[in-house]
Structure 1
Amino acid sequence: MAKKRILNRIKSVLADKGRTNLWLAEQLDKNKSTVSKWCTNDQQPTLDTLFDIAEVLEVNVSELLVVAAKS
């Protein structure tokens, strides 16, 4: 079974900000199940949506991304 790749930090940033998936869904006018999929890395937001998320959370978009270290 393939290992799931962690590509975004949306869940971590929400926790740092004391916010929930439901709050983010309401702010972005998105379905709560869509936001849940982003937070579990089962699905990724579009780049435009990623910038919207960063704006709502008042962070730089780079804080929402996982940077993989090269081996």
Structure 2
Amino acid sequence: MPTVRQLFSEQDFQEAIDKKLRIRVFHNDHLIDSGSIIIRFTEETVITQSSVSELAYHPRQECQFFEVRK
């Protein structure tokens, strides 16, 4: 069973980048992104990448981010 941990702080996001952790993103209790990695984040936005040319921009205040470890 996978371990799920919510990402809150700058440290959490930086750790996810450094370790290339797969994440899940929820918006309004709906899963909108799964299995991608965080490539960059700011105070307003988290940018994820799921394939070579597929980037997604998520508003940090409106979404919930979860690390998924198997």
TM-score, normalization: structure 2? Answer: 0.27
Q: Which has the larger radius of gyration?
A: 1
